[in-house]
Chains A and B, each alone.
Chain A
Amino acid sequence: MRLLAPPVGFALRRLRARPLQVVGLVLALAAAAGLVGWSSVEAALAQETSVRLRLAERPPGARSFRVVAFTQPGAPDRRAEIERAFAGLRDVTAPARSVRVWHSIDPNDAAGTRLVTVRERDDLVLESGRRPHGCRGDVCEVVVLTGNEELGARVPLRRAATALVVGRGRLRTGILPSTTELGARALYVRSVGGPLAPLVRNDGSTVATAAPLRPLRVHAADLPRLRERLRRTIARLQRGDPLVRPGAPLSVLDELDRRGTVARRRLLLVAGEGAALIVAFAAFAAATRRRDRERAEEQLATFGASRAQIAVARAAEVALPAAAGTLLALGGLAVVSRAEGVAVPSETVWTIVGVAAAATVVLLAAGAPRRARFGLGALELTALTALALVAWQAAATGALDANRVAARGAGPLLLLVPALAFFAAGVLLLRLLPPLLRAAERLARRAPVAARLALVGAARSPAQAAAATTFLAVAVGASLFSLGYRTTLERQAADQARFAAGAPWRVVAPPAGDVTPLTRFAAPTPALRLDGDVLQAYPRGGQVPVRVLALPARRLPQLLGWRGGFARTSRGELASRLRPQPVRLHGPPLARDARALRAWARVRAGEPRIVVAHLLLPGQRFAHVVLGVATRRWRLLRAPVRDLPGAQLVGIEFASTSGSPTFQYDPRGYLELGPLEQLARGAWTPLPPLGSWREAQAADGATGYLAAWDFTHAPVERGIRFDFNGTLRALIHPKLGLPAPPPGFEVGAVPALAGPPAAAQAVDGTVTLDVAGRQLPVRIVGRARLFPTVLERPSRFLVLDYDTLFAALNGDRPGTALPNEAWFFTRRPAAATVDARALERRLRADPLAAGTESVLGLAGVLAAALALVGLVLASRAALADDRLALAEYEALGVQPRSLRRSAQLRLVAVSALGIGAGVLGAWATVRVVGALVAVAGTARRPLPPIVAAIAWPQAAAVLVAVGAAGVGAAAFLTARALRAPAARRLRA
């Protein structure tokens, strides 16, 4: 130790001699190390918040540890063991609640009356009446949980007791896994004692116990451990006993953990970036002080210091600022983490220490590394080794596989990508710059003095220029990468919301729900979303399930969430292909005040026919008006129509009166129908003649014959005759504009935009779509990878023109397919189911997304600030190196202003080179990372896929700031460096 103290003291004296530089180095290292730590803390915090929110927003039943146990008389009672299991989880769960449902007390009727007891009084939620007091004599007060018994009713319970209904209620949700457990009649009783005991003595029961996880007690860092605890508890309870069925929201916990891990590791990208900054700054600082360091070592050697002592002095000089920076960063981190209430992960501390150690090693080993004889130096070897390791690891572990990354989160290897990219760029610059600068100097020999001297100056200190360029490249690159990646995530959130919404607002009818609400809104764009199957081409013969979406083709160019990359064809072109000719289900309109419809009709067939008028109402609803039954004699059929303003007559059906047709059914004969008239304003007026209408075609190709007809001996002179011709589809409708149906189909081929799986089934450009209970021929007129609003199985879709599909499905079967969505492009509906902006806000408010964005934003700003510092330091170092040369040039007769210009030119050129390299590096890194980390801010794999974006305004701001700082620093420092008389500078 005695021998080591002097070199340490020497190092301290040297550090004391340049306080500003040391403070700068310490602060820079602290800032970069702080970035590593802060990103980690922020990630932990975001994950913690996310876990709490996601758990809290789930109903208790969906986040409960629950056990359903079936008791049987004579079977071992495991309730105590179950209680112990719940007690073991009490640190993370709310108190357990339990419901016991006795099996049916009615002999020979498993679905009979069930008695129910609860452990906690408030597990019974009273809806009317009061709580039961118990039994008085053989009358027991009960609360009806399921069943129709009214208050005050008396229900005999076998012969042992009578239940008096004193209330109606329900059980607290989340305890019983399903209300079917309660059967058709469930009566809550206070207890099963007294007269009730004999009823249940020989019966089993279902005991459901549940304890919801408490969001505030579940910590993100403990998710894997908690999951394991739950898994073990479940395994122990269900081992060998089929009557005990435990369950826990393991998948929820897994999902939360996975998302958190993905987000955390992605934030470690920032840490990797920070680490790269630290190492680059260290290398840069070392390069700028290389000569000074070498001189100090020569001095020590001259004084007789051993190699160990020299190494100790060098290490102390480097390690002390590095340690100070690290401690400062860790201290700051401790303060921040305490304020945020999040523990700093130990791996973060070790990462910071490791990176600081790496920076120290770089500082120790830096300077211009000596090249080996064959042009391969230690740096190149290190870079090549690192690349080889990454390639090997990537191949062996799939760490760079985008799918794997999206599923499991970025592995540590991926985190090295930015740092490695910057390192490789640095080595490349370090090796390429010297010969390039020399070559440039040779080329510029006839250039003006300032330009030539600038190149001479740069080529004289290529290592310094390379270090400055590399650091600038790393810092600017890191800044632009952070800002670009942040913008990418922001834009992704917007894209994702727009893709999910498809339109600014959308109202979606519930499945099989009433579509009437869709008509309440003004100016909706109706849409049809159906599940269908594309029949697979020979020889597989299966089906490809697809989502069928019908939208008005004219809305295609206005869709939100569409990207040019989805399809090769423009949306305008696709729209025109989807609707090549006007197709619409329409018919003669009824007067707004029409009160009734009538028509003369008779039928000459085997049975009377019901004449039904199909009306299309505004809002794409249908009304079916039965005019009456046509018989063999002429009859005036009449039916009232009220409150159907805007209705159009879109079909008239001559329905069979004989019920379900059998295979022997062979409709023959004809039906004659006079002009259809409407009663409006007290007068009957005829509707347009039906002679030009078309017959509907059945699936077997059979069709009736429709003809305009002149009647004799009839109450009306003319009308139509419909010859049944054996068709089961006795319906006529106006012309729709659809092409003629090919053999075997009821309608002509409709054009569609298809996703790849559906398009792959096309033969001659056509597929068969099974939708809404019928098969449609579909002509594929375009292909797209994705389509907005198709989120499940996103590539499996067919998109058609709404009017075309609506007409195709409803033309001969009115009312078969009703619009189940309304899209709004201009005005917000009163109650939108999907709101694009709200969706975007929700995505961006996700703690994981918000945390990621804030960390990236700070990293961008910090890196830009470091770039500014680096720029000034680089300028200073370059001028210090050139000081004597500049003075000597001045002594040789070069004018100071030329020297100033040359120095400025050199600094600006080096800065521009670094900034340019940084821009390229950032662009490449954003693309690589964006491609590999295919998850959005919320750590979910997004639709549409993530696409790298360039943060133009922020990038411009950073570049302008750094550029202005570069020019300013060059101007100021050059003027300062040349201010003193040349004589003094020559002697310095």
Chain B
Amino acid sequence: MSAVRAHDLFHLYRAPQGDVAALRGLSLEVADGEVVSVLGPSGSGKSTLLALCAGFARASSGTLRLLDTPAERAPARDLARLRRSSIGIVRQHYHLALPRELTVEELVTFPLRLAGRREPGRAAALLRAAGLAGHTRAKPAELSGGEQQRVAVCAALAKRPRLLLADEPTGELDAASTAVVVDLILELAADAGAAALIVTHDPVVAAATQRTIHIRDGRLAAEGAERPVLIVDEQGWLRLPRRLREAAGVQERVRAQASWGKVELLAEGPAVRPPSAPAPRLEPEEKRATEVALDRVTKRHAGQERPALSGLTWAFAPERLHVVAGPSGSGKTTLLDLLASLDAPDEGEIWIAGERVDALTADQGAAFRRRVVGYVSQHSTLVDFLTARENVELGLALRGFDADEARRRALRALTAVGLDELAERRADRLSGGEQRRVSLARALAPAPRLLLADEPTAHLDRVTGRIVIRLLQEAAHAAGTTVVAASHDPDLVAAADSALRLGM
């Protein structure tokens, strides 16, 4: 029996420039209990496929059977009933997907209540399995991103769905959280006997699933059915699924013994962090001479016990691509904010281009950024009714460029990020990846001395991600910009000239 059986699916949607085909004859079958990851570039139709499978949209033509229900002609009421009883959904933006008013326990039981079912103990069991047993009364805002996404997975699987649909469930998570969430999805789906369709850009996630399909231009482009149990990523790190780790009694560290054709892993005791050594100080001349220098910088956020950054001393060389890596909450974004003078450290000094910037007023900070810094925030927003070019021009106008120069630079920057053909398209009609690239173009257009980019490749497919990475490299090496990017993208980490790992 199939959980999903799609044949020759077409889906058209109305756009100002005419009807656009998101799916063009896609055929796919997902067996009961099968876990399938869906990969593809931005705009290839992955999210549309999930929307069809969730019953949120209807196929324009073709057939789609969901759990033996003909979705293309079933009444909306039947599809809603199917969704309520047998389909679980995990969204990418966990912070938007979870109602902030409910507690963790309420969130997990809510789908059951909506379905009119009562299963005492189900929520507790799921939360226990997700390692959230101690957070049942917490509200989502009190949890980390990974924890929130785990809550979302528990909620999606609480009703024991026959089909789980997950749209980039790890898109906003660091590597460690990603591994946990992926394991949880696989494990709980297996427990519930649910088929799963997981849209992802992350090859690590894809590799963990039984089967991988690639979508391009709305069609099935390729399919791989290998199921590697263990993954060696591009940096050579080996990832072990949690179930396997637990079965082997592996906790945080293993000892590896290699021989030809095999690697033997031996469990070790709990890892012990080495006592943190006092950070070395930078000499004054060193600070002035270095492009970006941090001297024993400490930053503590209100209401948090642990400082986000504690006594960090670091120097970023000029005209290089630097990556700040680390798990969620390790202080990556905080560091970028401090470098951009958007926030001030509690202690320590920050020197950029020979200028001390840790104690600037808001106006001074703005003037400094206008002169020196290009900034791409994680949730960068564009003005939706302006075109891509006009958005970049607006950024330049705010920096004081005249209209002609702004137009010239904007076109050049858009060409550099590969969007020259979409320069006149309104921002709200660009895909998420394209919008991200416009944000990058906006930051690069004024040719800043220092470019700060927060998760520049998040939500991008791998191809686009690589384009962005190449852009950052070119900015650093060819345009003479010092680039500091906060990211947990292994590709970016690998491509960087240097990496500062926080929270390790």
A residues touching B (Cβ–Cβ < 8 Å)?
2-3, 5-7, 9-10, 13-14, 16-17, 295-296, 298-309, 438, 445-446, 449, 452-453, 456, 459-460, 884-885, 887-897, 981-984, 986-987
Q: How far is the CA of A308 from the CA of B75 in the complex (A)?
A: 14
Q: How far is the CA of A459 from the CA of B426 in the complex (A)?
A: 14
In the bound complex, do residue A986 and residue B384 qualify as a contact, i.e. CB atoms below 8 Å apart? no
- A459 in contact with B114 given A445-B397, A895-B363 (CB within 8 Å): no
In the bound complex, do residue B383 and residue A983 qualify as a contact, i.e. CB atoms below 8 Å apart? no
- Cβ of B375 under 8 Å from chain A: yes
In the bound complex, do residue B369 and residue A892 qualify as a contact, i.e. CB atoms below 8 Å apart? yes
In the bound complex, do residue B155 and residue A303 qualify as a contact, i.e. CB atoms below 8 Å apart? yes
In the bound complex, do residue B159 and residue A304 qualify as a contact, i.e. CB atoms below 8 Å apart? yes
In the complex formed, the residue of A with least CB distance to B368 is: A893
Of A16, A889, A891, A895, the contact of B367 (CB 8 Å cutoff): A895
B121 to chain A, nearest CB (A): 19
19 new A-B contacts, CB < 8 A, other than A3-B116, A17-B100, A302-B156, are: A10-B99, A10-B101, A13-B101, A295-B96, A304-B88, A304-B89, A304-B159, A449-B397, A885-B381, A885-B383, A890-B362, A891-B342, A893-B367, A893-B369, A893-B399, A896-B363, A982-B343, A983-B340, A986-B379
In the bound complex, do residue B101 and residue A14 qualify as a contact, i.e. CB atoms below 8 Å apart? yes
- Cβ of B113 under 8 Å from chain A: yes
Complex contacts, B377 vs chain A, CB 8 Å: 887-888, 891, 986
In the bound complex, do residue B343 and residue A892 qualify as a contact, i.e. CB atoms below 8 Å apart? no
B296 to chain A, nearest CB (A): 20
In the bound complex, do residue A894 and residue B366 qualify as a contact, i.e. CB atoms below 8 Å apart? yes
A441 to chain B, nearest CB (A): 8
Complex contacts, A446 vs chain B, CB 8 Å: 403
Of B77, B101, B155, the contact of A17 (CB 8 Å cutoff): B101
Complex contacts, A17 vs chain B, CB 8 Å: 100-101
Of A300, A892, A897, A981, the contact of B398 (CB 8 Å cutoff): A892
Complex contacts, B83 vs chain A, CB 8 Å: 301, 304, 306
Q: How far is the CA of A482 from the CA of B370 in the complex (A)?
A: 52
Interface centre among A5, A438, A893, A897 (most CB of B within 10 A): A893
Q: How far is the CA of A313 from the CA of B394 in the complex (A)?
A: 41
In the complex formed, the residue of B with least CB distance to A307 is: B80
- A305 in contact with B114 given A891-B375, A893-B370, A982-B342 (CB within 8 Å): yes
Complex contacts, A453 vs chain B, CB 8 Å: 398
- Cβ of B48 under 8 Å from chain A: no
Q: How far is the CA of A452 from the CA of B377 in the complex (A)?
A: 22
In the complex formed, the residue of B with least CB distance to A306 is: B80
Q: How far is the CA of A987 from the CA of B486 in the complex (A)?
A: 14
In the bound complex, do residue B344 and residue A893 qualify as a contact, i.e. CB atoms below 8 Å apart? no
Q: Which 7 A-B pairs have the closest CB atoms?
A: A893-B370, A983-B337, A983-B343, A306-B80, A304-B84, A983-B342, A6-B113
14 contacts between A and B (CB under 8 A): A3-B116, A10-B102, A13-B102, A14-B99, A300-B114, A304-B89, A308-B80, A884-B379, A888-B381, A890-B366, A893-B373, A896-B363, A982-B362, A986-B337
Q: How far is the CA of A299 from the CA of B395 in the complex (A)?
A: 34
Interface centre among B333, B362, B367, B442 (most CB of A within 10 A): B362
B166 to chain A, nearest CB (A): 11
- Cβ of B380 under 8 Å from chain A: yes
B334 to chain A, nearest CB (A): 7
Mark B42-68 against chain A: 1 for CB-CB distance below 8 A, else 0: 000000000000001000000000000
Of B85, B89, B442, the contact of A302 (CB 8 Å cutoff): B89
B236 to chain A, nearest CB (A): 33
Q: How many residues of B contact A (CB 8 A)?
A: 60
Complex contacts, B221 vs chain A, CB 8 Å: none
In the bound complex, do residue B101 and residue A304 qualify as a contact, i.e. CB atoms below 8 Å apart? no
Complex contacts, A897 vs chain B, CB 8 Å: 363
Complex contacts, A303 vs chain B, CB 8 Å: 89, 110-111, 114, 155
In the bound complex, do residue A304 and residue B111 qualify as a contact, i.e. CB atoms below 8 Å apart? yes
In the complex formed, the residue of A with least CB distance to B83 is: A304
A413 to chain B, nearest CB (A): 40
Q: How far is the CA of A892 from the CA of B77 in the complex (A)?
A: 48
B387 to chain A, nearest CB (A): 12
Mark B467-489 against chain A: 1 for CB-CB distance below 8 A, else 0: 00000000000000000000000
Q: How far is the CA of A10 from the CA of B111 in the complex (A)?
A: 12
In the bound complex, do residue B84 and residue A305 qualify as a contact, i.e. CB atoms below 8 Å apart? yes
In the complex formed, the residue of A with least CB distance to B81 is: A306
In the complex formed, the residue of A with least CB distance to B167 is: A302
In the complex formed, the residue of B with least CB distance to A302 is: B89
Complex contacts, A889 vs chain B, CB 8 Å: 398
Complex contacts, B395 vs chain A, CB 8 Å: 892
Q: How far is the CA of A727 from the CA of B442 in the complex (A)?
A: 112
Complex contacts, B386 vs chain A, CB 8 Å: 456
Q: How far is the CA of A300 from the CA of B337 in the complex (A)?
A: 35
Q: How far is the CA of A982 from the CA of B367 in the complex (A)?
A: 14
A906 to chain B, nearest CB (A): 14
Q: How far is the CA of A173 from the CA of B111 in the complex (A)?
A: 84
A371 to chain B, nearest CB (A): 12
Q: How far is the CA of A409 from the CA of B379 in the complex (A)?
A: 60
In the bound complex, do residue B369 and residue A981 qualify as a contact, i.e. CB atoms below 8 Å apart? no
In the complex formed, the residue of B with least CB distance to A11 is: B101
- Cβ of B190 under 8 Å from chain A: no
Tell me which residues from 391 to 408 in chain B have a Cβ below 8 Å from any Cβ of chain A.
Answer: 394-395, 397-399, 403
- Cβ of B248 under 8 Å from chain A: no
A887 to chain B, nearest CB (A): 8
- Cβ of B180 under 8 Å from chain A: no
A449 to chain B, nearest CB (A): 6
In the bound complex, do residue A438 and residue B385 qualify as a contact, i.e. CB atoms below 8 Å apart? yes
Mark B314-336 against chain A: 1 for CB-CB distance below 8 A, else 0: 00000000000000000001100
In the complex formed, the residue of B with least CB distance to A14 is: B101
In the bound complex, do residue A306 and residue B84 qualify as a contact, i.e. CB atoms below 8 Å apart? yes
- Cβ of B266 under 8 Å from chain A: no
Mark B95-114 against chain A: 1 for CB-CB distance below 8 A, else 0: 01111111000000011011
- Cβ of B279 under 8 Å from chain A: no
In the bound complex, do residue A460 and residue B398 qualify as a contact, i.e. CB atoms below 8 Å apart? no
Q: How far is the CA of A823 from the CA of B101 in the complex (A)?
A: 77
Complex contacts, B96 vs chain A, CB 8 Å: 295, 298-299
Of A6, A298, A887, A987, the contact of B114 (CB 8 Å cutoff): A6
Q: How far is the CA of A305 from the CA of B89 in the complex (A)?
A: 11
- A449 in contact with B76 given A16-B101, A895-B367 (CB within 8 Å): no
A300 to chain B, nearest CB (A): 8
Q: How far is the CA of A72 from the CA of B88 in the complex (A)?
A: 100
Complex contacts, B383 vs chain A, CB 8 Å: 456, 460, 885
Q: How far is the CA of A10 from the CA of B403 in the complex (A)?
A: 51
- A3 in contact with B385 given A17-B100, A891-B340 (CB within 8 Å): no
B200 to chain A, nearest CB (A): 18
- Cβ of B115 under 8 Å from chain A: yes
- A890 in contact with B342 given A896-B366, A986-B337 (CB within 8 Å): yes
Complex contacts, B114 vs chain A, CB 8 Å: 3, 6-7, 300, 303-306, 309
Q: How far is the CA of A945 from the CA of B474 in the complex (A)?
A: 81
Tell me which residues from 444 to 477 in chain B have a Cβ below 8 Å from any Cβ of chain A.
Answer: none
B227 to chain A, nearest CB (A): 28
In the complex formed, the residue of A with least CB distance to B117 is: A2
In the complex formed, the residue of B with least CB distance to A18 is: B101
Complex contacts, B76 vs chain A, CB 8 Å: 307
In the complex formed, the residue of A with least CB distance to B393 is: A445
Mark B267-294 against chain A: 1 for CB-CB distance below 8 A, else 0: 0000000000000000000000000000
Q: How far is the CA of A459 from the CA of B390 in the complex (A)?
A: 14
Q: How far is the CA of A391 from the CA of B77 in the complex (A)?
A: 41
B326 to chain A, nearest CB (A): 16
Q: How far is the CA of A888 from the CA of B83 in the complex (A)?
A: 38
Q: How far is the CA of A893 from the CA of B383 in the complex (A)?
A: 17
Q: How far is the CA of A449 from the CA of B89 in the complex (A)?
A: 44
- A983 in contact with B334 given A17-B100, A298-B96, A885-B381 (CB within 8 Å): yes
Interface centre among B370, B398, B442 (most CB of A within 10 A): B398
In the bound complex, do residue A984 and residue B343 qualify as a contact, i.e. CB atoms below 8 Å apart? yes
Of B85, B115, B399, the contact of A892 (CB 8 Å cutoff): B399
